[in-house]
Every structure is written in C-alpha cells, then in structure tokens.
Chains A and B, each alone.
Chain A
Amino acid sequence: MMDDFNSETDSDYTSYWRDWFISSRGNEYFCEIDEDYLTDRFNLTGLNTEVQYYQYALDLVTDVFDLDCDDEMRETIEKSARHLYGLVHARYIVTTRGLAKMLEKYKKADFGKCPRVMCKSHPLLPMGQSDNPNVKAVKLYCARCEDIYNPKSSRHSAIDGAYFGTSFHNIIFQVYPALIPAKSAERYQPRIYGFKVHAPATLIRWQHAERDEMRKRLRKLEIESGFKDEDDDVDAEDSEEEEEEVDMEALENGEMEVGDPNHQA
C-alpha cells in the first residue's frame, strides 16, 4: 500500500507514515513535522551518524521507502525512523512553524496539566533534561511553578526527552511572552490542628524571604516580577511576617498538644 505513494514525494498528500506516527497511542506529545522541513538536508545535519540505516529511515518518514526486505530488517528501520523523527522533532519545534504547532497543543492541554494543587491545572509542556538521546525520559514543565514533573502515564514516560530538548519550553515563552502565566505565591503550609509545624514553617519563612529579596531586586531594576499581587508593596509583607511571629508562640503550644494526640487508643 505504501508503494502507492512513493512516486509522489512532492505532494502534501504523502504524509502517510507521519500521520500514522502522530496518531498512534503514546505519541500524543509529538506534532507533525512539515514535509519541507524534513526534506531540507540542512535541518538534518549530523543526524546521519546518530541514526542507524539513516537513509532508509528518512525514506520511511517521508513515505518514499521502497526497499524489499524481511520483517526483521523492516522492524529495525521502523525503529530508526521513529528515532530520526524524534531527533528532527526536537529541532523542528523551536522553529516558527513548530512553535506555533506546539502552542496549539499547549492550549488544548495535550501534554497534560500540572499536578501541583496550587497551579490549578495549568497546562504543561514536554521537555528533556538532556539534548542527547537515551539519557533521560521526557518530563513535563509547568510554567506556573517552573518545575518539572513525570508524565502520569507509563506510555509517555518511555519517550526520550531528547525528542523535545532542553530549550523548547523556554524558547516558547520568549517568543510568546503573553503566554507567561501570572506567578502565584500561594502555597501549601503543613498544619496540625490549625497550628503551623515548626520545622517546615521555618523553611517556608526562609523561602519567602528569598522570594521577597528577588522581588526587591527586580523592582530596583524596574522589571516586572510577574506575580499576581504585583501592586502590593513588598514592605507590606513585613507585617505578615510579624503575624507569623505571633503564630510561632501559639505553635509551641500547638506542638505540645501534638505530642499527645492520642486521647483515644
């Protein structure tokens, strides 16, 4: 069946293999690479050493594969084609067209939503922790909390992170700055019967001091820090700190209760 197409390389019609690849289960994170991009040898520089049976794999991806071979060989080439597609994908998604395609998928939350409760289901972006293949599996980046998460499903956690690269998810926000989500200082505070717990509370206060320092730094440079409550004075948060000091006293009593929570055994 595939042979039916092999004479028509130039037409837009010939995306048989890529269509199949994009729509197959587990490949939801990939977008479709343009024919033009794939056929421009410049874009594939260096990949011939990275991919086994490079030429056959490229032929398969561009639907001009017509080698008569046994199933085992075909399977190997098929695997190479998937690898090649992934590596080209990492380059393609940082191009203008690639970014636009990934943006559409991001808006539809095709890559999932942030599991962090305070991020309120913010959509994620796929990323790699390395640009070299076979190092780390794909991770998901949340632009709201600026942290990375493991994909929920095991069929996604097997995808190579290099197919998305370490830069794409940062470049997309440089190209589309309007997409940068408002940052929130909202966070979880461990409590016992309403009282903050000493050790985590100390760490949280330290973190908040770090945050306020950063915001003061940015304010001095007249750079937007991007926090939702930008209008509030950083100084105003000092009063909040004082409130926490009061809480600390209550906390000690709280912990005392905590020492004997078992009023019933």
Chain B
Amino acid sequence: MSSSSGTPESWISSFCSLLGHEYFAEISEDFIEDDFNLTGLQTQVAMYKEALEMILDVEPEDDEDEDEDEEEEEGDESIEGEERTTRRAASERRHTRMASDLSIIESSAEMLYGLIHQRFICSRAGIQQMSEKYELGHFGVCPRTFCEGVRTLPVGLSDVPGEDTVKLFCPSCLDVYVPPNSRFQTVDGAFFGRTFGALFLLTFPDYDISKKGADTLSHGRGAAASMASDGEDKEKINGMNVQNLAPGLGRGKMYEPKIYGFKVSERARSGPRMAWLRNRPLDIRELDEAVLFGATEESDDDGGVNGVRTQPRPTVAGSRRIRRPNGGSPMSIEANGEFEA
C-alpha cells in the first residue's frame, strides 16, 4: 500500500489503462464520494470499505501502525527480544492477513469499480465521457457487413455481475455482438449494464449513428461535425430521429441468399427464414403508431400542447391526446421525444 502514495497515477486511471479495460470510463471521484451513488453496493462487495479506499487511493486508517510494523520488522530479524515477541506475533498476524487480503481487496475494488461504473455511465458526467470515447471509436465497429463499420457501444446483457461478459451493441442494426478481441471476454457485462446502450441513443439523438468508425478515426475529433446543431428540425418517430432508427436494416441492407444468381426460395428447406430480423418497413413512418392511430380515428383538433414538436405532421397532436385516456401519463407526451444532451 505504501507504494501507491508514491505513484503519480491514481488507482482509477491505472485500472482504466489496463489491457482489456479500454471500454471503461474514468469515474470522477466526486461521483464515488457521494454515498447516494453507492447505495446498496455494501452488500454486493466483500471488504467494501477497503475496496472503496483502494479505488479512491485513500490510505487505510491504520496506516501509521502499518509503517511502524514495517520498521520494526527489520529490527526484529536480528533482535529476538522477549518482551517484543507478543507484539511481534500480533503484527505478524496482521501482516499475513494484509498480504493475503490485498489480492482480495484488489478484486473487490475491481468489482466495486465496475458496479459504480454501471451507474456512472448512466449519469450526466459519465454518459458525456462515454460519448467522447464513442466519437473516437474506442468501442470498435459492428462486424455485420451491411452495417458498414458503424461504431458500437459496450453493453451488458445483465445488471448482475458474474453472468455474462461485455457485448457490443450496434445502434444501426439493434443487435449485440461479441467483441472481436478475446481480451474483452474477461470483462463483466454488468460493469456496463443493460441500460447504457439504449440510454445513450436517447441522450444523444443527434449523433449520426450511420457514420463509419474508420472515418472518425481518420478525421480525429469531429464532435461538432458529427453532432447536428439542434434536433428540432429533424423528423422524429417514436422519440428517435428518423435517420437514426435502425439505418443498417431494410431493403438493400439485407443479405439475400442466391445460387448462381437465382434467389433461394422461402419454400426451400434451406430457404431464408431470418429476413425479418434485418428488415424494416420500406416507409419507416409506418412505425409511427400514434399517427396511424390518429389517421384511423379522427377526432377534435385542439392538441396544441406540443405543437412545436409536431408541426411537420399536424395529425400527431390530435392522436397524442387520444392516447392519454388509455393510461399514458400527461408527462409522457413531453418525454416522448425530447431528450437533450
């Protein structure tokens, strides 16, 4: 432990620079120091207090004793004073405990960091940091040919640690993939959590998610270019910009099995069965259920509540009002599409 005070690098930054930890954001100490953010983690992590101290590079409280013990140790090697034997035994006991515990604390600290990380990347500061990593293509690209190398996001398939490793979520085809490098197969998916991927899309609706990862690398940081000035003028469907709703799917972006140029029929035993997975309506507006509902059930036209948002498609306002008695909260109208970074 004494060496940690001498190293210029904090535990957090050294953890994040380890091989295989490229996906991690550096959690700010403010976030960790706020107990509210750590609610419930005590019961999930062994040696919680020690692990937390390690993450924050805080010297353990019995640090002074520790130093003393170490000094004594050198003396003890030669002098076997009788009056000291009891003290020495005590210190030795603590010392062996410390040595074996250090590895436990280290792994606990990694677990704790991961669990805090799961929460941190869903906070304002954390998701901002992850967006910078996304812009730089730190999370790799989608292996699917028709996604043309768009950038992916790290996600977990479970929020509970120990169940599955980290996966990559492609916003272009809305599917999850195994990271190409095996070093990520030791990273727990729960350290990223199930929420982050989708939350990212809603938090930054104006990212051009069909942009290739290779382009961002060659142009360096193109934050301003890749983010449109504001999303107000962009058409939205169900709370997402139209061009960001699964741009990697649909006609022309699907694989069609062919033999010598002839399509394999659906009626063949080996015929295509999974086209639906990569399909989307020719006219994506077909998915705007609210508009469709409004079109089928005409009603009064006084839905000026969210007039600004729905100006391009005036029917929406009416239909939204119809939905309200069906159990939707009035708040949901505002929340439906207006997520701002």
Interface residues of A (CB under 8 A from B): 115-118, 121, 129, 139, 141, 144-150, 152, 166-167, 170-171, 173-174, 177, 180, 183, 187-188, 190-194, 197-200, 202-204, 206-208, 210-211, 214, 217-218, 221, 223-227, 249, 252-253, 255-256, 258-259, 261-265
- Closest chain A CB from B269 CB (angstroms): 5
- Residue numbers in B under 8 Å from A263 (CB-CB): 36, 123
Which residue of B is nearest A226, CB measured?
B273
Whether a CB of chain A sits under 8 angstroms from the CB of B237 is: yes
Which residue of A is nearest B265, CB measured?
A223
User: Please, could you name 13 A-B residue pairs with CB atoms under 8 Å apart, sorted by A?
Assistant: A116-B175, A116-B177, A145-B277, A170-B270, A173-B270, A174-B270, A188-B174, A199-B287, A200-B245, A203-B174, A206-B281, A210-B276, A265-B125
- Closest chain B CB from A177 CB (angstroms): 5
Chain B interface size, as a band, is 35 or more
Q: Which one of B83-91, B218-226, B294-302, B328-336 contacts A?
A: B328-336
- Residue numbers in B under 8 Å from A258 (CB-CB): 199, 202, 335, 339
- Residue numbers in B under 8 Å from A190 (CB-CB): 169, 174, 197-198, 201
Whether a CB of chain A sits under 8 angstroms from the CB of B238 is: yes
Contact in complex: A147, B255 (CB < 8 Å): yes
CA distance A129 to B249 in the complex (A): 18
Which residue of A is nearest B167, CB measured?
A117
Which residue of A is nearest B240, CB measured?
A199
- Residue numbers in B under 8 Å from A144 (CB-CB): 274
Q: Which 4 A-B pairs have the closest CB atoms?
A: A252-B332, A190-B198, A262-B124, A199-B240
Contact in complex: B259, A192 (CB < 8 Å): no
Whether a CB of chain A sits under 8 angstroms from the CB of B144 is: yes
Chain B 26-66 interface 0/1 with A at a Cβ cutoff of 8 Å (1 = within): 00000100101100000000000000000000000000000
Contact in complex: A202, B238 (CB < 8 Å): yes
- Residue numbers in B under 8 Å from A117 (CB-CB): 157, 167, 175-178
Contact in complex: A255, B175 (CB < 8 Å): no
Contact in complex: A152, B180 (CB < 8 Å): yes
Whether a CB of chain A sits under 8 angstroms from the CB of B93 is: no
Chain B 316-339 interface 0/1 with A at a Cβ cutoff of 8 Å (1 = within): 000000000011110110111011
CA distance A255 to B203 in the complex (A): 11
CA distance A252 to B268 in the complex (A): 42
Contact in complex: A203, B287 (CB < 8 Å): yes
CB within 8 A of A170: which of B237, B245, B257, B334? B257
CA distance A118 to B277 in the complex (A): 12
Contact in complex: A146, B275 (CB < 8 Å): yes
Chain B 108-124 interface 0/1 with A at a Cβ cutoff of 8 Å (1 = within): 00000000000000111
Whether a CB of chain A sits under 8 angstroms from the CB of B279 is: yes
CA distance A197 to B203 in the complex (A): 12
Chain B 248-286 interface 0/1 with A at a Cβ cutoff of 8 Å (1 = within): 010000010111110010111110111111111100001
Contact in complex: A252, B329 (CB < 8 Å): yes
CA distance A221 to B329 in the complex (A): 45
CB within 8 A of B274: which of A145, A171, A218, A261? A145
Contact in complex: B239, A167 (CB < 8 Å): no
Q: A115-B177, A115-B180, A187-B175 are in contact. Are A207 and B269 (CB under 8 A)?
A: no
